[in-house]
Chain A
Amino acid sequence: MMRDQKLWSWHVAAGIVILVLLGLHMTIMHLDEILRFTSLNPAGGEPIDWQNVVARGKMVFFAVTYVLLLGAALFHGLYGLRNILFELIQGAGAKKAVSVLLIVVGLGLFVLGTLSALASFALARSL
């Protein structure tokens, strides 16, 4: 019976993870003039410059946080979508089908996104 309590708690936790990681993203990408992240932007110039992107792409920290952000965003978003859909549909069978569909879609996108993150990490390391 604790299922909804558990899912909601993870939904909140995922929201906090998103908040922190997006905050980190915004800080790195938009506050570089103020904070001067020389280790994250070794080539100088804009954080979006190719050399800086490759430099960050080589770091394990960023590969891990990409995957973490992906997982948190997928869970948070799809659980929210599930709540919305549950208001629009009736019947235990239909709700079960929606849950299964969202789990399959979520896992599929997570695997795809993780492989992409790992591929970009490997590519950056090879440069």
Chain B
Amino acid sequence: MNDSTPKEVLYRVRRFEPGRDPSPRWQDFTIPRTPGMTVLDGLWTIKQTLDATLSWRSSCRMGVCGSCGMLINGRARLACNTQLSELGAGVVAVAPLPNFDIIRDLVPDLSPMFDSHAALMPYLIRDDAAEQENPTGEFAQSAEELEHYLQFSYCIKCGCCMAACPTVATDPVYSGPMPLGQAHRYNSDGRDGGFAKRREVLSGPSGPWRCHFAGECSRVCPKGVDPAKAIQLMKRELVWDYIRLRKGHPPAAVVPKPTEIRRRPNIPDAPPRSV
């Protein structure tokens, strides 16, 4: 923060309490601006010093938990991961994620997203339930197989992609980029054998068919996941499946756990513990 940086910042926050307020309204707060301040820091300052009733959802403060997705200056972002310096010197406008009902103020109701997510079975589906409950070995997977789904596994379910998706905005049946991206993540996992089960949902109207590749989901994703790509890959998989040309695979075999693990040379020791 240099000398020309303003000492204060104006937050314009969308307030709404369903059942009490007739409609959402904007409320302005002017707070001190400090170096390295994030949008979330500012919300905490407002709550601690100006208005304790301001509500939002947050947890980890480090862009990992996905709780603090908000519409910040017109773009869906994580409040904890957005520095005020990124937003310039103007007003910081904060609203709840669009395409969701509002529980209160900046708290969106994400349950439709998680319902769609659960319907697409975002977990490994295999026949060997006993092995999964009491593992005797490991599910074999090569580094190359990992690459098929790795980037999609970085999703933190923050809902930013859902808020940016024009199809989610208009089609309540459409599952949306997060659930579809996660369905593709598991369909692409060599350890999984659940494609046929997920296809029951994906081949219907809530599947990827309404996506017209606006690409906004990928643009706003704070973790660099590309859900639009996942959806197009999923469409391709389902077309191959329809014409019986999809290359299926049995779920990865169980292999014994490695017994002779040795530390690779040239790896330095960890520094001594400081706490």
Interface residues, chain A, CB within 8 Å of chain B? 1-9, 12, 83, 86-88, 90
B243 at the interface (CB under 8 A from A): yes
**Residues of the B chain whose Cβ atoms lie less than 8 Å from the Cβ of A87:** 166-167, 170-171, 210
Chain A residue nearest to B243 in the complex (CB): A9
B61 at the interface (CB under 8 A from A): no
- Complex contact A1–B209 (CB within 8 A): no
Interchain Cβ contacts under 8 Å between A and B, 7 examples: A2-B204, A3-B205, A4-B203, A5-B238, A7-B209, A9-B238, A12-B239
Chain B residue nearest to A10 in the complex (CB): B242
A86 and B200 CA atoms in complex are apart in Å by 21
The 8 closest A-B pairs by CB, nearest first: A5-B203, A9-B242, A87-B170, A2-B203, A1-B204, A4-B209, A9-B239, A5-B238
- Complex contact B205–A2 (CB within 8 A): no
In chain B between 120 and 174, which residues have their CB closer than 8 angstroms to a CB of chain A?
Answer: 166-167, 170-172
B57 at the interface (CB under 8 A from A): no
A83 and B211 CA atoms in complex are apart in Å by 9
**Residues of the A chain whose Cβ atoms lie less than 8 Å from the Cβ of B209:** 4-5, 7-8, 83
A8 CB → nearest B CB, Å: 5
**Residues of the A chain whose Cβ atoms lie less than 8 Å from the Cβ of B243:** 9
- Complex contact A2–B242 (CB within 8 A): yes
Given A2-B203, A4-B203, A4-B205, A86 contacting B210 (CB threshold 8 A): yes
Chain A residue nearest to B211 in the complex (CB): A83
B242 CB → nearest A CB, Å: 4
B66 at the interface (CB under 8 A from A): no
- Complex contact A83–B239 (CB within 8 A): no
A83 CB → nearest B CB, Å: 6
**Residues of the A chain whose Cβ atoms lie less than 8 Å from the Cβ of B239:** 5, 8-9, 12
**Residues of the A chain whose Cβ atoms lie less than 8 Å from the Cβ of B203:** 1-6
**Residues of the B chain whose Cβ atoms lie less than 8 Å from the Cβ of A5:** 199, 202-203, 207, 209, 238-239, 241-242
Query: Could you list 11 further interchain pairs (A-B, Cβ under 8 angstroms) beyond the known A2-B203, A5-B202?
Result: A1-B200, A3-B203, A4-B207, A5-B199, A5-B203, A5-B239, A6-B242, A8-B235, A9-B242, A83-B209, A83-B210
Chain A residue nearest to B241 in the complex (CB): A5
- Complex contact A8–B171 (CB within 8 A): no
Q: Mark B198-226, 1 if CB is under 8 A from A, else 0.
A: 01111111010110100000000000000
In chain B between 35 and 92, which residues have their CB closer than 8 angstroms to a CB of chain A?
Answer: none
- Complex contact A90–B242 (CB within 8 A): no
**Residues of the A chain whose Cβ atoms lie less than 8 Å from the Cβ of B170:** 87-88
**Residues of the A chain whose Cβ atoms lie less than 8 Å from the Cβ of B212:** 83
A96 CB → nearest B CB, Å: 12
**Residues of the B chain whose Cβ atoms lie less than 8 Å from the Cβ of A9:** 238-239, 242-243
A87 and B202 CA atoms in complex are apart in Å by 18
**Residues of the B chain whose Cβ atoms lie less than 8 Å from the Cβ of A4:** 203-205, 207, 209
B112 CB → nearest A CB, Å: 15
A8 and B210 CA atoms in complex are apart in Å by 10
A7 and B204 CA atoms in complex are apart in Å by 10
**Residues of the B chain whose Cβ atoms lie less than 8 Å from the Cβ of A6:** 203, 242
A6 and B209 CA atoms in complex are apart in Å by 11
**Residues of the A chain whose Cβ atoms lie less than 8 Å from the Cβ of B238:** 5, 8-9
In chain B between 227 and 247, which residues have their CB closer than 8 angstroms to a CB of chain A?
Answer: 235, 238-239, 241-243
A85 CB → nearest B CB, Å: 11
B245 CB → nearest A CB, Å: 11
